[in-house]
Amino acid sequence: MSKNGLSAKTGNHEVHHRTAKFAGDTMPDDDRSAISAQHAKGLFAGWKAAPALVLAVSGGPDSIALMWLAARWRRGLKRGPRLIAVTVDHGLRPGAAREARNVKHLAQTLELEHRTLRWTAAKPGTGVPAAARAARYRLLAEAARNSWHRRPRRRAPASARATADA
């Protein structure tokens, strides 16, 4: 971790977020980023009235970027949907659980809820990629249905958490 933000290893990807801050600091709302704050707002504008958004975050660079952009967008709203990052551990690789924990840590630094869902069913002898994809879609759909009905856990503001931990 650097003083400018965070750096985390997720899978085979080194992810650096220079503008994500700890302890409740806001992400910069400037136009010097690769995607300006205004552009980020436009990307998610259609989702503003949703009660919750489930973000499928594998730990790869594309899904990490999605999570970061969604967090940036949500922080700019007075009211908006809960953001829930969901990682699916298919149980197919030894490092998958560690990668899911890394995504959870990243989500927590962005003050997002995170859930790791596990595909625990027996794995087929053939057609594993297709079966894993079907399982992932099923698990994500269940997470989305549950998120509309479940109330978020209350978290103290980051400044209060920092004080309580001191």
Residue 149's pLDDT is 65
Residue-wise pLDDT for 17-32, tens only, equals: 333 333 333 455 555 6
The CATH homologous superfamily for domain 50-151 is HUPs (3.40.50.620)
Q: What is the dihedral of CA 131, 132, 135, 140, to 10 degrees?
A: -150
Give residue limits of the domains in the chain: 50-151
Nearest to 138 by CA among 119, 154, 115, 122: 119
* Rounded-to-integer distance, Cα 34 and Cα 10, Å: 21
Of the candidate ranges 26-30, 109-113, 130-134, 142-146, the one whose mean pLDDT is the lowest = 26-30
Chain centre to alpha carbon of residue 6? 14
